[in-house]
């Protein structure tokens, strides 16, 4: 058993079975732990960020995610392409259970590449805080062009003012200005073939930016998992999500090699 597997097994024993059962049943789990905070990842350290776009029902998806902490550092929660039109009690329980396990939760907000109405975006940022106690925000469909830097700087300032982190997902390396205020940026989101054919990141991305770098790679066969992990480290990524699930929705299940992936980032 690897050290990572041992840590995961020990955490699984520590996480209350009652809390997990209550999460799946929709009952209360008591006062949740406060949202965790983390120091910056050290050089070469790699963690998992999970696009958790799966409803918290009776499947083992969420139990597997929870038991994988601390290798799973961040989970993006997404009730309905955002916080939804009404509070979801099941998501309240899920968020509390994730916090209890030491996982940081980010609320999903779609921004339409900068074209979505800004009032709608800020309303959803507020809803995450008011409804779910979530201050960290994942701004999906983020713009990459210099003309929209000010828009996203305003979004990030709103998130920071409430004590959260702002993660942008343009899926590519955006204009350098975004790195001045974002806490993390997803600089790649695409299938494996495009990942291995992608250009080397610019030197300034590795040496002159403050934001962390995240990668999301789909359609990765198990025999290329280690290769993907090594490429992510070489490109300066601090958090990744790697799956063999495919488009049009590569986030509706965990990868078939989930345990192997968790072990790989923990070594």
Q: What is the pLDDT along the chain (267 residues), one digit of tens a residue?
A: 333 443 444 444 444 443 454 554 454 444 555 667 666 655 668 999 999 999 998 679 999 999 999 999 999 999 999 999 999 999 999 999 999 999 999 999 999 999 999 999 999 999 999 999 999 999 999 999 999 999 999 999 999 999 999 999 999 999 999 999 999 999 999 999 999 998 888 989 888 888 999 999 999 999 999 999 999 999 999 999 999 999 999 999 999 999 999 999 976
The dihedral formed by the CA atoms of 248, 254, 256 and 260, expressed in degrees to the nearest 10: 130
The dihedral formed by the CA atoms of 39, 43, 44 and 47, expressed in degrees to the nearest 10: 10
Q: Convert the chain into a string of H (helix), E (strand) and C (coil).
A: CCHHHHHHHHHHHHCCHHHHHHHHHCCCCCCCCCCCCCCCCCCCCCEEEEEECCCCCCCCHHHHHHHCCCCEEEEEECCCCCCCCCCCHHHHHHHHHHHHCCCEEEEEEECHHHCCCHHHHHHHHHHHHHHHCCCCEEEECCCCCHHHHHHHHHHHHHHHHCCCCEEEECCCCCCHHHHHCCCEEEEEEEEHHHHHHCCCCCHHHHHCCCCEEEEEEECCCHHHHHHHHHHHHHCCCCEEEECCCCCCCCCCCCCCCHHHHHHHHCC
- Rounded distance between C-alpha atoms, residue 50 and residue 138, angstroms: 12
Q: Given this model, what pLDDT does residue 267 score?
A: 67
- Rounded distance between C-alpha atoms, residue 244 and residue 228, angstroms: 12
Cβ neighbours around 155 below 10 Å, total: 23
Cβ neighbours around 27 below 10 Å, total: 12
- Tokens encoding 112: 């339409």
Q: Given this model, what pLDDT does residue 28 score?
A: 44
For residue 185, what are the β-bridge partners?
A: 168, 213
For residue 83, what are the β-bridge partners?
A: none
CA angle 88, 59, 248 (to 5 degrees): 80
- Rounded distance between C-alpha atoms, residue 53 and residue 250, angstroms: 10
**Cβ pair 228, 243 in contact under 8 A:** no
Could you tell me the domains of the chain? 3-31+45-265 (3.20.20.80)
């Amino acid at each position: 058993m690897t050290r990572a597997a041992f840590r995961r097994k020990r955490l699984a024993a520590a996480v209350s079975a009652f809390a997990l059962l209550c999460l799946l049943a929709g009952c209360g789990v008591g006062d949740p732990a406060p949202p965790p905070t983390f120091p910056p990842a050290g050089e070469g350290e790699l963690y998992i960020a999970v696009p958790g776009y799966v409803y918290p029902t009776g499947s083992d998806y969420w139990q597997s995610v929870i038991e994988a902490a601390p290798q799973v550092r961040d989970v993006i929660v997404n009730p309905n392409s955002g916080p939804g039109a009404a509070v979801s009690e099941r998501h309240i329980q899920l968020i509390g259970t994730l916090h209890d396990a030491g996982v940081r939760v980010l609320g999903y907000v779609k921004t339409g590449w900068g074209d979505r109405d800004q009032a709608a975006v800020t309303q959803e940022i507020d809803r995450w805080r008011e409804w779910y106690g979530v201050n960290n925000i994942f701004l999906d469909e983020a713009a990459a062009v210099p003309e929209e830097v000010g828009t996203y700087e305003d979004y990030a300032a709103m998130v920071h003012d409430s004590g959260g982190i702002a993660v942008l997902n343009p899926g590519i390396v955006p204009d350098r200005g975004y790195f001045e205020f974002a806490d993390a940026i997803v600089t790649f989101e695409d299938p494996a073939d495009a990942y291995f054919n992608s250009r080397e990141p610019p030197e300034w991305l590795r040496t002159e930016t403050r934001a962390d770098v995240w990668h999301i790679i789909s359609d990765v066969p198990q025999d290329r998992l280690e290769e993907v992990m090594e490429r992510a480290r070489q490109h300066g990524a601090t958090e990744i999500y790697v799956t063999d699930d495919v488009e049009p929705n590569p986030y509706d299940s965990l990868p078939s090699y989930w345990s192997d992936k968790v072990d790989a980032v923990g070594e």
